[in-house]
Amino acid sequence: MDFSFNEDQEALADTVRRYLMTELTPELIRELWETGTGRSEAGWAQLAAQGMTAVSVPEALGGLGMSAAEWALLAQTWGYFGGPDTLMDTSLVTVALLARLPASDWRDTLLAQIAAGNARVALGHSVNPYVADAHVAHVLLCERDGELHRVAPTACTRKAVESVDPSRRLFELQWTPNASTRIADADEATPLIAAMLDHGAFAVAAQLLGLTQRVLDAAIDYTSERKQFGKPIGAYQAVKHLLADVAIRYEFARPVVYRAACALATDDPQRALYVSHAKLAALSAAQLAARNAIQVHGAMGYTWELDLQIFVKRIWALAGSWGDATFHRERVASTLIDARMPIGPARTFELE
């Protein structure tokens, strides 16, 4: 099976990369930290104009009709530049969830609004103790006791929760479920909630890949410029080993994340296994990158002035988003051990 990205997918990712390089800079991220919402309305409108909010929305509703395969590159790029939660939760996870619901006026209207950049959605799942970006959401889709509910922001009370990453805006929500908010009962909601979790965990895994590359790039740049005893510290073998270890871990994680994207795009019956594997592999690479990058920077690595701290804090914050390492290890173990799933390189893709 050929799992290389085609020219259109690469071109889309490259276009987004060049756009974010100028429009989502560390300076802008720092400025947004000081605002009340931490979000930019103008920036969201620009993302919509670039087609980022419409990637997965069906063409009939104003979208591009693409799959999770395209998000493998796009979410990775979003992570590289330290983008906030709203885009992934709305344009990837929410759209995947809505696509599994029966067609209705409210569903189709919401999808069209997402594609046009006129709606942002916050998601509540039992695996996440707090809801991200509830303060800017036009609607909330929340799990409660195994059911799925559509909740208006005015029907909730929010309590802000501080995050290690100032870019994350987290809230503890209080709301009362009732028949008017319920969009799927326990039986109907089970596959929907599972899809929400899998797409959310995949989005985090792909972002962690991008963050790994960003932190590694920052460390390489610093070790090329910082001199000790008359030569760049990057010339010393011990420093080279620290960065090489990150590069190797990154290269091993990348195909695992791409395999998860394929599993989501094809709705593979074992997608939960591939997604959890991706989250674990990407998190391992990102945490190593954060630790080693701080080490090669020395005490400077902890300072507020360096951009490195923006992306390291993002890694730490995403570590527990959509399931921590323990949660995903248990999902992998339950599939491989309890279900006795056959494994091995020959079974990465089942050939017909």
Same domain, 105 and 160: yes
| Residues in Cβ contact with 350 at an 8 Å cutoff, skipping those fewer than 6 apart | none
| Residues in Cβ contact with 131 at an 8 Å cutoff, skipping those fewer than 6 apart | 122, 123, 124, 140, 142, 170, 171, 172, 173
Same domain, 69 and 138: yes
Same domain, 334 and 273: yes
Taking a C-beta distance cutoff of 8 angstroms, is the pair 205, 285 a contact? no
Q: What is the mean pLDDT of the chain?
A: 91
Percentage of the chain exceeding pLDDT 70: 92
Amino acid at 242: L
Domain that holds residue 123: 7-187
Whether residue 192 lies inside any domain: the answer is no
- CA dihedral sign of residues 203, 199, 37, 118: positive
138/174 Cα distance (integer angstroms): 16
CATH number at residue 58: 1.10.540.10
Same domain, 157 and 206: no
Span 284-293, average pLDDT: 96
Whether residue 13 lies inside any domain: the answer is yes
Looking at residue 313, what is its pLDDT? 95
Which is more confident, 338 or 142? 142
Looking at residue 352, what is its pLDDT? 47
- pLDDT tens-digit readout, 218-249: 999 887 766 566 666 655 577 788 899 999 99
- pLDDT tens-digit readout, 174-219: 999 999 999 999 999 999 999 999 999 999 999 999 999 999 999 9
CATH number at residue 246: 1.20.140.10
User: What phi and psi values does residue 127 have, to the nearest 5 degrees?
Assistant: -75, -20
Whether residue 43 lies inside any domain: the answer is yes
Same domain, 256 and 111: no
Give the chain's domain count: 2
